[in-house]
Structure formats: structure tokens, C-alpha cells
Amino acid sequence: MELKGYEAPHAGVDKWRIFYADESNIYLIADDYIAGENAPNGQSGSKINENDTYRLSFDNVYRDYSGASWISSNGKGSKWLSQFLGSYGTSTNTNIRAVAYMMDTNVWSGYYAGEDAEYAMGGPTIEMYCASYKDTHPSKYLECGNVDSYGYNVRWNGGSWSTSQSGLVQDDFNSIYIKSDTSKAYGMWLASPSANTNDDLMYAYYDGVVDNFDSSLTTLGLRPLVCLKSSVQLQIEEDGYLWIQ
């Protein structure tokens, strides 16, 4: 469902959608990929690598971050990476350093968090992605876990763990999980390390696959995530839109 009434400064995002809600907060996701010019620099000023206007990789910005310990100390979004941080909280692998950029709520909040928001990140983690997917697909849903020192594995509920899974439905729930339109990018980066190698991050691809590749992949984009303040409520209007109250 499309959301109206949320404004984010300098965002370059025309439309926001509800991605997930837990007992405390509502989370929004950008309906489409952002242009590189709207992605913030890292904490030390490094720029994200623009392979095309919307196809972004982490060749530069990951160097601004030490890794898992930085994410834990940053705090705001770290609960959504708890499985990895709880077991490998000192990891300095390349993939977790790239994830730290996506989870740097300091640099992202300056671009995406308006007065109704608590924080913003460069995209959802695999833990939030799976929690949301389970809510909307209660019969067959994606799970993440079986973490090792590199990162996460995924499985369909009751299935076998692997570094990738296929079969997600294209474009259901307004394309919040899988966006089949490849005119801008072929998929979205997820803010999570993969168990495949110490370089690989997870991503959701246009063809319905949650997979992994190293942080230099040149075909993927970012769809920022915003956590609304716990005081924010939503109201359904007669025109079918959701408005922030």
C-alpha cells in the first residue's frame, strides 16, 4: 500500500511503502532505487561507487568502517543483525564493513529521516526481510540463520540451509521484496553479510532469488529503509492511501 504524509529531506524518493511493523515501530522502504547522488558519503567522507546512475557498489565506502563492532556501538538498527553480531561481533571482514555503511544511521538519517522518523538505513537486513516475508507469506516463508564467521544462510521454512534461495514471487506486495523492473538496477542490496565468503553481501534479485555476491557487484541498487518513531500511527483514508498521524 502506498504511503503519503511522510517527507524525507534530500531523499530522491518519490514514494514510500510499508515494509514491516513490529511491536514498537513501523518501517518504510523506498518504492524504487535511489540515484548515487542521493546516497550519503561514508563516515570519513568516502563516496559510494556509481557504476551507473542507480547501480551502486561498495568499493570505496566500506573502507570507512571497522566492521561488526562499529555496528554494535552504533546501536539504532543493530537489533536487526543480532544473529551475526551476537556470534561474530568482532568481525572485520569486507562484507560486514560494507554492511556497516548501509547501517550507518548517522549518515543516512541526514538524507532520509524526517521529523517522524527515528532513523534510516541504506536498506533492510536479512533478518528484517525474513520477518516481513513471514508476515505476508505465512505458509511458505524465508528464514535466515545458521550463521558462520562470514555471515548468514537462508532457507524456506523447514528446508535446508544454503547461501541462496529461489522462488520468491516477483512484484507481490507492491514489489517490496522483489522488483522485476530492471531499468534501473537488477536487485537491491540487503544490509547483511553472506556465509558464502568474507566478501559477499546478500541481495534480493529481480528474478525472485535471495543470493550473494561480493561488494563490488555492479548491477545492484539501494532502497533505503526508514524506522518511524514509536509515537507515529497510520490511518487508512477513503482513497485507500495510508497517512501518517
Tell me the pLDDT tens digit for each residue of 73-105.
Answer: 987 999 999 999 999 999 999 999 999 999 999
Tell me the pLDDT tens digit for each residue of 191-203.
Answer: 999 999 999 999 9
Amino acid 236: pLDDT: 61
pLDDT band at 109 (very low <50, low <70, confident <90, very high): confident
Backbone angles phi, psi at 215, to 5 degrees: -70, -5
Tell me the pLDDT tens digit for each residue of 119-168.
Answer: 999 999 999 999 999 999 999 999 999 999 999 999 999 899 999 999 99
Is residue 241 scored above 70 in pLDDT?
no
Kindly state the helix (H) or strand (E) to which residue 26 belongs, with its residue range: strand 26-30
Alpha helices in the chain (DSSP H): 68-74, 82-87, 94-102, 105-112, 126-136, 172-175
Alpha carbon distance 202, 14 (integer Å):
25
Alpha carbon distance 176, 95 (integer Å):
23
Tell me the pLDDT tens digit for each residue of 213-236.
Answer: 999 999 999 999 999 988 877 666
64 to each of 39, 191, 215, 220, how far by Cα in Å?
A: 15, 16, 14, 21
